């Protein structure tokens, strides 16, 4: 499928953020996340009693663990690079 630019008559390729899979998972997450949430809440009067709470807790914990490892690793690598460059400069 192509999109036609009205000012220029040639056909343009479809534009993706990072590709169709990336767009499908992150940008269109409501299409696959909403049925999971509804399925987990099905049969419960109060959503706080359903397994949905475990999903929220698990995803939140996973997010913060991964974020702390990535950010902590980046800060550690930057500090090591700074200390190493200063120690090399002091030895010269």
Domain with 83 in it: 51-92
68 shares a domain with 30 = no
Contact 4, 12 (CB under 8 A): yes
56 shares a domain with 36 = no
42 shares a domain with 10 = yes
56 shares a domain with 31 = no
87 shares a domain with 65 = yes
pLDDT of residue 10: 63
39 shares a domain with 59 = no
- Mean pLDDT over each residue of the chain, to the nearest integer: 84
Identity of the highest mean pLDDT range in 8-17, 25-34, 38-47: 38-47
40 shares a domain with 3 = yes
Contacts with 91 (C-beta within 8 Å, 6 or more apart), sequence order? none
Q: In total, how many domains does the chain have? A: 2
Contact 82, 90 (CB under 8 A): no
**pLDDT greater than 60 at residue 1:** no
Instruction: Write out the DSSP string of the chain.
Output: --EE-SSS-SEEPPP-SS-HHHIIIIITHHHHHHHHHHHHHTT-SSGGGSTHHHHHHHHHHHHHHHHHHHHHHHHHHHHHHHHHHHHHHHH-
Confidence band, pLDDT 50/70/90 cuts, at residue 5: low
């Amino acid at each position: 499928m192509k999109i036609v630019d009205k000012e220029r008559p040639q056909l343009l390729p479809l534009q993706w953020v990072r590709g169709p899979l990336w767009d499908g998972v992150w940008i269109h997450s409501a299409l696959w996340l909403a049925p999971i949430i509804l399925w987990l809440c099905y049969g419960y009067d109060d959503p706080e009693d359903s397994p949905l709470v475990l999903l929220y807790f698990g995803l939140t914990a996973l997010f913060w663990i991964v974020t702390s490892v990535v950010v902590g690793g980046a800060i550690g690598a930057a500090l090591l690079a700074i200390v190493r460059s200063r120690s090399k400069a002091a030895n010269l």
